[in-house]
Amino acid sequence: MIDLRSDTVTRPTEAMLESMREATFGDDSRDGDETVRKLEALAAARAGKEAGAFMPSGTMANLVAMLAHAGRGGEVLLEDGSHTLNAELGGIAGAAGLFHRGIPGRRGAMDVEALREAVRPLTRHHMGTALVWMENTHNRAGGAVLPLAHMAAVHGLAREKDVPVHLDGARLFNAAVALGCAVAEISAHSDSVCFCVSKGLSAPVGSILCGTAAFIERARACRRMVGGNMRQAGPLAAAGIVALETMTARLAEDHQSAKRLAEGFHRIDASLCDPKDVETNLVRADVRKSGRRAAQWSADLKAKGVLVAPADIHVLRFVTHRHISAPDVDAAVSAFAELWKNL
């Protein structure tokens, strides 16, 4: 099977498995664990922040960020298509007790003027803005990269209004590779940031939330409240350390594979996707013209040995990663072409 459903399917490397065997087994929830502390310090250094806290998932890192930044009842402003708004089961309201306002965007970047209109203080008529939120790379925008100038504008605006900024950087290292800059240059435009080692970086589990030391202290308490303390998390942290130390530069290969895939689809039919839109490791293919739904395409491709997830009624989302080679890409394109030919 050629598995293009997600980069979370990446398996740990041999070096990760070895480091997991040699990891410490301290109780992170009680006295702390040496390996977890090492991962958190490494992650914070990469992100250019004072401290970090290891989390079981990106979703929890985002939820904890909301809890640690905001009291109950404020508004979170985030782009309409953001993962947190669309795929984290309403944790904003249901678990963090916050409201949200979606801001229209282009390729994941909020319209800054619309954001300016939306940021407001607490008055007797309006709920105040508790948090401004960005996502880089942007999942629903097909792995689009937020330009640094856009991030600086959003951060500047939020600062002017004294509102904190969180960056959902589940695929932050993909953004850094695409921009050709250090991760810290991106996260400099936020007060807190989280990123996943469990996606294209191949570790089995985990995300790290980073920010000021005071923010991370609050985040640790919030993590415990939502059940995120992991006890003997050393082996998971060990894999995360190998991910950060050795697996980030190779993401460029995944971006090349995604480009090759998009070019293949474009050759089949230009309506499927525009390779120019592919900046990182995600490719969205619009199958509307075929008259079939994405779910049907997913089932038909599975029968041909290609796994892919529908992202919308008429959109398939392909994700490239370490286990996808150039011949795999070509085989996936051929399978797709055959189905398209026989429509």
Ligand X SMILES: Cc1ncc(COP(=O)(O)O)c(C=O)c1O
* Chosen residue from 12, 26, 58, 235 binding ligand X by CB under 6 A: 58
* Residue number, 58 or 235, with CB nearest to ligand X: 58
* Residue number, 86 or 290, with CB nearest to ligand X: 86
Q: How far is the CB of 196 from ligand X (least distance, A)?
A: 5
* Residue number, 141 or 306, with CB nearest to ligand X: 141
Q: What is the size of the binding site for ligand X (CB under 6 A)?
A: 12
Count Cα atoms within 13 angstroms, Cβ side, for 282: 24
Phi and psi for 95 in degrees, rounded to 5?
A: -110, -35
Q: How far is the CB of 56 from ligand X (least distance, A)?
A: 8
DSSP, residue by residue, 246-295: HSSTTHHHHHHHHHHHHHHHHHH-TTT--GGG--SSEEEEE-GGGTS-HH
Query: What is the rounded CA–CA span in Å between residue 220 and residue 228?
Result: 9
3-state helix, strand, coil in the chain (%, to 5): 45, 15, 35
Q: How far is the CB of 60 from ligand X (least distance, A)?
A: 7
Phi and psi for 120 in degrees, rounded to 5?
A: -155, 155
* Residue number, 35 or 139, with CB nearest to ligand X: 139
53 in Cβ contact with 209 (< 8 Å): yes
Closest residue to bound ligand X by CB:
58
Residue 59 within binding range of ligand X, rule CB under 6 A: yes
Residue 136 within binding range of ligand X, rule CB under 6 A: no
Residue 335 within binding range of ligand X, rule CB under 6 A: no
* Chosen residue from 19, 35, 139, 192 binding ligand X by CB under 6 A: 139
Pairing of strands 75-79, 129-135: parallel
254 in Cβ contact with 320 (< 8 Å): yes
Pairing of strands 75-79, 105-106: unpaired
* Residue number, 244 or 335, with CB nearest to ligand X: 244
* Residue number, 208 or 333, with CB nearest to ligand X: 208
Binding mask 163-192 for ligand X (x = CB under 6 A): -----x-x----------------------
Residue 240 within binding range of ligand X, rule CB under 6 A: no
Query: What is the rounded CA–CA span in Å between residue 161 and residue 229?
Result: 34
Binding site residues, ligand X, CB under 6 A: 57-59, 62, 83, 135, 139, 168, 170, 196, 198, 207
